[in-house]
Amino acid sequence: MEIVYAAPYVPPAPPVPLWVGMRVTWTGWDGSVWDLNDPSGGVCLIRAGVEGLAMPAFTEWVQSSPSVAGQWFRGAVADPRRVFWPLCVFQDASTQGWIDLDRAFWKTMDPQKYGIWTITTPDGSSRSLRCRFKDDGGHPFEHDPFERCWATYGVALVADAPFWSGPEVSRVWNGNVLVDFFPGPPFHISSGSTMANASINNPGDEDAWPVWTIVGGSTDASVGVGSSVVEVPFVVPAGKALVVNTDPTVQTAVMYTYMPATNDDPEILSNPVDRTVDLGTANFAPIPAGQDRRLNISMTGDGIIRAAITPLYRRAW
């Protein structure tokens, strides 16, 4: 008798859902993380009315004349962003359990300290917004929350910097030799990725100001965008790193003791020393929104130059 072997039946993979909600998390100033759309966590957004996900409000500057129809647009700037969460705190194990949960969440609401509100889309990409507590609307309790172990709140926050931040974009170039820089497999930065053709892309909706890191050894260096260049006319020794932040609200140059990243740990910067006044020419310039821009960088030595930007977006996705 002839026996025929057939492959066992393998059911098809379940279809990928076409409609998937966003993930909403709050990371308090104390480091605690709250999943705001997971009811099992006990603190959850409960209904329509969340504010702060869409476009910010803008203040416009215009000029008009009694002799000319219309007006001239002179500029616009985004206002601080209002954030509002309608949410519920509930815990049915015990009264004390509810009190502990409520206290822990409200500990993260501080008018002087920032937490991070993060929206993650189904493809895994995320954007974050730094917020601080504004008010709870003078919340009235319509029942005893100790007995029912739940309470609804309207939480108002404010984002002083109104744009959502995307993942950091960075590029690295080295001087004369191949060097290990990233943790993980033996990634190298080749001098063939030359400083002469250096560029970086800003995928955001707003201009982004670079943070430059010059890792020694370097006897002198310059970094910039186009003709706007920051000169570093002093030595950055091996084992040190100079971080130049070009953000108009910061604009500093700080020298650190530098420990490179390993497979298990990120790089460590310690022992900061302000060297801002020691810079030479310092013409700061941003990377324009949505553009790939050529960089103007040079170094004498075998160190590393890194350019990093944080893309800024007007909406949460």
Domain range 169-313, CATH architecture: Sandwich (2.60)
By DSSP bridging, strand 169-174 and strand 199-201 are unpaired
Q: Give every CB contact of residue 103 below 8 A, 6+ residues apart in sequence.
A: none
Which pLDDT tens digit goes with each residue over 207-225? 999 999 999 999 999 999 9
- Phi and psi at 166, nearest 5°, equal -95, 180
Q: Across residues 77-98, what is the average pLDDT? A: 95
Mean pLDDT of the chain: 90
64-68, 184-188, 258-262: least confidently modelled range: 184-188
User: How many residues are listed for the chain in this entry?
Assistant: 317
In three-state secondary structure terms, 300 is strand
Give 248-274 pLDDT, tens digit per residue.
Answer: 999 999 999 999 988 888 999 999 999
What pLDDT does residue 185 have?
Answer: 40
Q: How large a percentage of the chain has pLDDT more than 70?
A: 90
Q: How confident is the model at residue 188 (pLDDT cuts 50, 70, 90)?
A: very low
Which residues have a Cβ under 8 Å from the Cβ of 8 and sit 6 or more positions away?
A: none
Q: Where are the domains of the chain?
A: 23-165, 169-313
Note whether 23-165 and 169-313 share their fold: no
Task: Say if residues 229 and 307 touch (Cβ distance below 8 Å).
Answer: no
Tell me the residue type at 176.
N
Q: To the nearest 5 percent, what fractions of the chain are helix, strand and coil?
A: 10, 45, 45
Which of the four pLDDT bands, split at 50, 70 and 90, describes residue 178? very low
- pLDDT for the residue numbered 190: 39
Q: Which CATH architecture has domain 23-165?
A: Beta Barrel (2.40)
Q: What is the pLDDT of residue 13?
A: 66
The per-residue pLDDT for 3 is: 65
Tokens for 285, please give them: 């310039």
278: left (phi over 0), alpha (psi -120 to 50) or beta: alpha
